[in-house]
Structure 1
């Protein structure tokens, strides 16, 4: 799953440009933003005591996911690798993303699909409290609706990893054909999805007044008031 997520991000981030990139959360030790052409990259972490080796050129920030320590309209790209699922306030996380992104800035969201085989395993083993099975997952359609309310346009949604969530390496290799078949199928069968959305620009369009000749107060063929006649 991690390998496929990285491959999807490599393809997506290489086509998004800007000056400032923020990654909210770090679910693994990989450099998820390695393919980005944005030079100033930052990672947001929750625990200040955790010793994390950030890649070269990447700044580490300590803050809550729903309280981004960034100025409004200052970021070009925000990456949320499963940040919505690991947050107790996913709506507020998206509000903060909308606040900090510049107009036409992009957000890239990685999520687990609750309607797939991964979602079924979550229902069966979620009570054990192990990540990611204990996380609250959201469908791509639901996330798209949230983003639309905040003024985002969904650019693309891509599903990945169509195999069942097994840990046996030999079995997973034998199930490689499922990836080829699933890639041509429905997004709902994918274990994970990557959603790209762009912050909509709201502009005021001046409307020129439509001048019309003043309508006569008295219809033709009727007698005019005597006062007007005298004038």
Structure 2
């Protein structure tokens, strides 16, 4: 279900992609105003959005799945992007403070396994932001953008998936209320669409943006051991050896 990295790069280089990046970055920044001294990891195709944290974070790295491909990032600096197996990230446990998932869950063949790997590498006090296509949005109904590929989700489906993989959703927002049309008027009025959609709580945004925390103490089901009933034995009189000889 993955989309090729070249198609992703081309989308974000066009006018519609530039506007989409600006609107989604606006919502991400509202959740995470800063990342001073933190270790930030992006998974999927997060490079259009990691620039928010690259200058302030202690470390800022992008990991892209093998099925998608990888591009050099940043272009004019030492590379901070790598091609990985998304189900076996090359990081130790609790290694990062913030994880940004973009074009990741909806493209993954096993999103639950991906989130469990995210849980493993995230620090106990860490946070995750996932940008996920909204199944009720207009953007999922066209192949002209990356948000029309893969599996879109409703809010309830995202909540269930996160809880199954030991995360707790803590904050929600939406972005891309404007139609995915590259016409000049739609692009110029994009911010007005965002304000109107957020004010009216419209359900047709292009993407969900959910922040979640790691459940450090997971609920483990307790099983009560069934008591085994041992049958009582009736006492038997055994004749003594002296009585036998007499």
Q: Which sections of structure 1, spanning at least 5 residues, go unmatched?
A: 205-231
Superposed CA RMSD in Å reads 2.9
Instruction: Extract structure 1 runs of 4+ deviating beyond 6 A.
Output: none
Name the residue aligned to 1:77. Answer: 98
TM-score, length of structure 1 as denominator length: 0.73
Equivalent residues of 1:75, 1:101 under 8 A apart: yes
1:149 shift after superposition: 2.0
Residues 4-37 of structure 1 deviation map (CA, whole Å, 9 limit, x = unaligned): 012222332334566322111226x535242364
| Matched ranges for 1:116-131 at <5 A | 116-119=137-140, 121-122=141-142, 126=143, 131=146
Name the residue aligned to 2:60. Answer: 41
* DSSP-derived class of the 2:53 partner: coil
Q: Which of 163, 182, 189 is 2:178 aligned to?
A: 163
Paired with 1:168 and 1:160, the residues of 2 have a C-alpha distance of 19
* DSSP-derived class of the 2:112 partner: helix
Residues 13-68 of structure 1 deviation map (CA, whole Å, 9 limit, x = unaligned): 334566322111226x5352423642111110235975423265762222022221
Q: Which of 62, 70, 73 is 1:53 aligned to?
A: 73
| Matched ranges for 1:140-219 at <5 A | 140-174=155-189, 177-186=192-201, 188-202=203-217
Question: Larger RCO: Structure 1 or Structure 2 (Cα < 8 Å, ≥ 6 residues apart)?
Answer: 2
TM-score, length of structure 2 as denominator length: 0.69
Q: Which of 44, 47, 50 is 1:32 aligned to?
A: 50
Equivalent residues of 1:73, 1:101 under 8 A apart: yes
Which one is further off, 38-47 or 175-184?
175-184
Name the residue aligned to 1:68. Answer: 89
Name the residue aligned to 1:14. Answer: 33
- Cα distance, 1:203–1:81 mapped onto 2, change above 3 Å: closer
1:155 shift after superposition: 1.4
Paired with 1:141 and 1:34, the residues of 2 have a C-alpha distance of 29
Report the count of equivalent residues.
Answer: 197
Equivalent residues of 1:6, 1:32 under 8 A apart: no
